[in-house]
Amino acid sequence: MMSVQAFFGSLVQFGLIAGLFVAGPFLLFFLSTTYAEHLEARGKYHQSYRFSRAVYYFTDIPLLRLWIGKFHYLQLRALSERAAKIGNQTAALDWLRDASDARFSSSERVHALAQLATLLRKQNRTGEAEAAETEALAIVPDRTRRKERFTLSDEDGASTRSAQAGILTGQGRFAQALALLDQSSTPDLYRTPLIFTAQRSTIFRYLGRYDEAIAEYVRHAQEWAELTDKILSRSTSNTVVDARIHESFQDYDAITVLPGVELYLEAGQTEAASELWSRLPVAASPTTRALRHAVGAWLSAVRGDRDAAKSQMTQAESAPIRDETTRHTVSHTLARAESAMQDYPRAAERWESLVQNSAHTPLAKAEYRVSLAASYAQMGRVADARVQYEQVIAAGFEEAVFTQKARAELSGLPADSPDADADSDAS
């Protein structure tokens, strides 16, 4: 007969095995991702890709695929990104096509197809990119799909509609994007309200409806603060872990505040931008610090403090940034700072670079052209400014406020001067 001690020993062993079974997928994904990122930080991108691919193939058998659940999809997305970093565009596209397979949830497929469209545009395969977006927009949100382990519920289609609204926004179909978001009035994910308010704020900004954009941003910031308070109030009883969690949320808080400062500046509300800036938490990571310095440069430039603006610009440009998206965002914000300082030649150089590197994001490219045209006009390069304004209008984003601005500025341009450059420096 089994003793009480042996019984409890067996029970503990069973509990450990069960715990490992439940937490195993998370641990496998977390540890493999951490190691892959460690390799990338050391510049070993090919080794990182090969390691991630080996882990994926190890788990790509029916039994392990069922066990690892949602992380199987995340592996595919990560593999695509790492393949792109080493220049293997074919593999990057293939991994995303796998991630858009019907075995995944509707929201996962929409996100994968949206990323696929972005990569195709980078390769100037516009027709295929548009086809991928059309396929994504046609996907019907899952409602009765079996809820698997480690898969977020999407019973009311909130996550799927959010992803589709992002595609519509990128196409400049803002009214349709807002209508799609409004269809999910009772989202099932605790994170969905944050997604919706952030998306609405962005859409209203493109429409030039700054009061509504700011109202959505304020709501978003409040919801984020409530969420972080709940999370941080739960100590893990481990001082090291607690410190890392608080450090991470400092970055998240900063990333939440910075768009608000930019929104207020764009709306011409400098005092509100300054007040929000004063509440900006200290950023922990080099990436977030670079973004902070870039926004600080723009704010200082608008205030008329050139020395402070230049100091912030220097710190932003010297920050060690590996992420291409962050470098692009920093450059965009610094271009705004230089425009505010009326340093139009340097601003024009940045806007030209941004236009040239934004072929995969037509909406952003058109918006950058407006600022580039304004810099050209201030420099007396009227012919170049006219070309840029005409290309903004030809892009066809009729709902966007920057298209209206382009038409107004174009009609107000003086006649071309005889010595003006006839060709635009940005394609």
- In this prediction, residue 36 carries a pLDDT of 80
Helix 71-85 crosses helix 45-59 at what angle (to 10 degrees)?
Answer: 150
Please state the rounded mean pLDDT for residues 100-118: 88
Query: What is the 8-class DSSP label of residue 141?
Result: P
Residue that has been written with the tokens 């992803």 in this structure: 163
Closest CA to 51 of 61, 38, 69, 64: 38
- In this prediction, residue 324 carries a pLDDT of 82
Determine the Cα–Cα distance for residues 4 and 389; give it in Å rounded to an integer: 83
Determine the Cα–Cα distance for residues 116 and 97; give it in Å rounded to an integer: 7
- In this prediction, residue 366 carries a pLDDT of 96
Determine the Cα–Cα distance for residues 415 and 355; give it in Å rounded to an integer: 25
What sections of 267-400 are H helices per DSSP?
A: 270-278, 286-303, 306-318, 324-340, 344-356, 362-378, 382-394
pLDDT class of 244 with cuts at 50, 70, 90: low
Residue 109 pLDDT exceeds 80: yes
What sections of 45-187 are H helices per DSSP?
A: 45-59, 62-68, 71-85, 89-99, 106-122, 126-138, 158-170, 174-182
Cβ within 8 Å of residue 212, ≥6 positions away: 200, 204
Residue that has been written with the tokens 């589709």 in this structure: 164
The pair of structure tokens assigned to 327 is: 């470098």
Residue 134, Cα to own-chain centre: how many angstroms? Answer: 21
Determine the Cα–Cα distance for residues 415 and 138; give it in Å rounded to an integer: 48
Residue 239 pLDDT exceeds 80: no
Q: Which residue would you say has higher pLDDT here, 335 or 58?
A: 335
Longest dimension (CA), the chain: 105
44-50-53-57 Cα dihedral, nearest 10 degrees: -150
Residue 153 pLDDT exceeds 50: no
Residue type, 312: Q
pLDDT in tens, 119-140: 999 888 999 999 999 999 998 8
pLDDT in tens, 66-83: 555 567 778 888 889 889
**Alpha-carbon torsion 200, 355, 130, 128, what sign?**
negative
Query: Each residue of 119-158: b (16+ CB within 10 Å) or e?
Result: bbbbeeeeeebeebbeebbebebbeeeeeeebbbebebbb
Query: Each residue of 14-42: b (16+ CB within 10 Å) or e?
Result: eeeeeeeeeeebeebbeebbeebeebbee
The pair of structure tokens assigned to 352 is: 């030209």
Determine the Cα–Cα distance for residues 326 and 288; give it in Å rounded to an integer: 9
Query: Each residue of 297-325: b (16+ CB within 10 Å) or e?
Result: bbbbbbeeeeeebbebbebbbebebeeee
pLDDT in tens, 320-343: 887 788 889 999 999 999 999 999
Mean residue pLDDT of the chain comes to 80
Determine the Cα–Cα distance for residues 392 and 396; give it in Å rounded to an integer: 7
Closest CA to 66 of 142, 147, 152, 149: 149
DSSP calls for 24-46: HHHHHHHHHHHHHHHHHHTT-HH
Cβ-contact 120, 146 below 8 angstroms = no
Total Cβ atoms within 10 A of residue 268: 10
- In this prediction, residue 160 carries a pLDDT of 84
pLDDT in tens, 169-218: 999 999 999 998 887 655 444 445 677 888 999 999 999 999 999 999 99
Residue type, 345: P
Residue type, 179: A
